[in-house]
């Protein structure tokens, strides 16, 4: 679910930035109705755990069935691109995160905020290490290595005098642009931003 959530929030933010508010609102409304119905159905036999499960199921349906597919279609991101650039790089790090949370909770039962912080901190550290080792692309690793050595935020230096630059110029020449937060971007730039945003740093 944490992986689905990592995809959901950037996708929703991008849709809102290009003024696709109505679909996001209807998706949120539908999720609320589904959550309410499942909570009522589950609270009797399962109590609070049933309500939590209902929220989890409703959110998972919203993300996987509506938000991410709609964002991919609007932004022109193919399922092959989404799978190779977002899903596959997250599988092993996500498994490491889940495994460390389960193991940490078993070794150090979460009975206080301090213990919770320890378990979550170890799990997140393992996730970041696994992503840096196997999830991040070679270019992404080089960007962050350069950022760390320079002591500043990552800067992408590949969009200069290359095929992507030509695509961007072609988009502007043909009028293939979108407006995001007042910035006029080419479709190529918007797609790159979508893929980059859907991939955790």
| Residue 99 belongs to a domain | yes
**Mean pLDDT along residues 102-106:** 93
In a domain, 131, yes or no: yes
Residue 201 has pLDDT above 90, yes or no: no
Confidence at residue 199, expressed as pLDDT on a 0 to 100 scale: 59
E strands present in the chain: 177-180, 183-186
> What are the b/e assignments for 66-101, b being 16+ CB within 10 Å?
bbbebbbebbebeeeebeebbbebbeebbebbeebb
Residues 5 and 65 in one domain: yes
Residue 105 is assigned to a structural domain of this protein: yes
Q: Is residue 178 part of a domain?
A: no
pLDDT at 113: 92
Q: In the predicted model, is pLDDT for residue 120 greater than 90? A: yes
Domain-terminating residue out of 75, 94, 110 = 75
* Mean pLDDT computed over 192-201: 68
The answer to whether residue 165 is domain-embedded is no
The pLDDT value given to residue 150: 59
What is the reported pTM? 0.55
Q: What average pLDDT score do residues 106-134 get?
A: 91
Together in a domain, 7 and 26: yes
31 and 49 within one domain: yes
pLDDT over threshold 90, residue 146: no
Q: Examine the fold and report which residue of 75, 106, 121 is the final residue of a domain before the chain moves on.
A: 75
Instruction: Dump pLDDT digits (tens) for 148-195.
Output: 665 544 444 444 445 677 777 777 777 777 777 767 788 888 887 777
Please check whether residue 72 is in contact with residue 195, taking contact to mean a CB–CB distance below 8 angstroms: no
4 in the same domain as 44: yes
- Quote the CA–CA distance of 105 and 115 in Å, as a whole number: 9
Q: Is residue 109 scored above 50 in pLDDT?
A: yes
Question: Is residue 195 situated within a structural domain?
Answer: no
Domain limits for position 58: 1-75
User: For the chain, what is the domain count?
Assistant: 2
Do both 18 and 86 map to the same domain? no
Q: Residues 6 or more apart from 66 whose CB is under 8 A from it?
A: 27, 30
Identify the domain boundary among 75, 98, 121: 75
Query: What does the angle CA 151 – CA 199 – CA 165 come to, to the nearest 5 degrees?
Result: 75
Evaluate whether residue 15 is within a structural domain. Answer: yes
Same domain, 19 and 66: yes
Q: Measuring CA to CA, how many Å separate 132 from each of 90, 135, 142, 146?
A: 11, 6, 11, 14
pLDDT, averaged across the chain: 80
In this prediction, residues 73-88 reach a mean pLDDT of 83
Q: pLDDT tens digit string along 36-56?
A: 999 999 999 999 889 999 998
Note the helical H segments in 87-137. 88-107, 113-130
Shared-domain flag, residues 25 and 61: yes
pLDDT score of 163: 65
Residue 152 inside a domain? The answer is no
- Residue 57 has what pLDDT? 92
Quick one: 10 and 51 in the same domain?
A: yes
The answer on 109 and 51 residing in a single domain is no
């Amino acid at each position: 679910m944490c992986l689905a959530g990592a995809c959901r929030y950037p996708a929703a933010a991008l849709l809102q930035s290009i003024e696709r508010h109505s679909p996001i609102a209807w998706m949120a409304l539908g999720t609320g109705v589904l959550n309410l119905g499942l909570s009522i159905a589950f609270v009797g036999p399962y109590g609070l755990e049933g309500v939590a499960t209902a929220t989890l199921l409703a959110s998972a349906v919203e993300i996987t069935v509506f938000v991410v597919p709609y964002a991919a279609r609007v932004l022109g991101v193919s399922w092959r691109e989404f799978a190779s650039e977002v899903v596959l790089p997250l599988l092993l790090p996500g498994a490491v995160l889940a495994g460390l949370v389960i193991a940490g909770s078993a070794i150090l039962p979460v009975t206080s905020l301090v213990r919770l912080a320890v378990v979550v901190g170890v799990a997140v550290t393992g996730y970041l290490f696994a992503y840096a080792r196997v999830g991040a692309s070679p270019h992404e690793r080089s960007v962050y290595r350069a950022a760390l050595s320079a002591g500043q935020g990552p800067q992408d230096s590949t969009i200069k005098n290359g095929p992507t630059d030509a695509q961007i110029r072609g988009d502007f020449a043909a009028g293939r642009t979108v407006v995001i937060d007042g910035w006029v971007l080419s479709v190529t730039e918007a797609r790159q931003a979508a893929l980059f945003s859907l991939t955790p740093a």
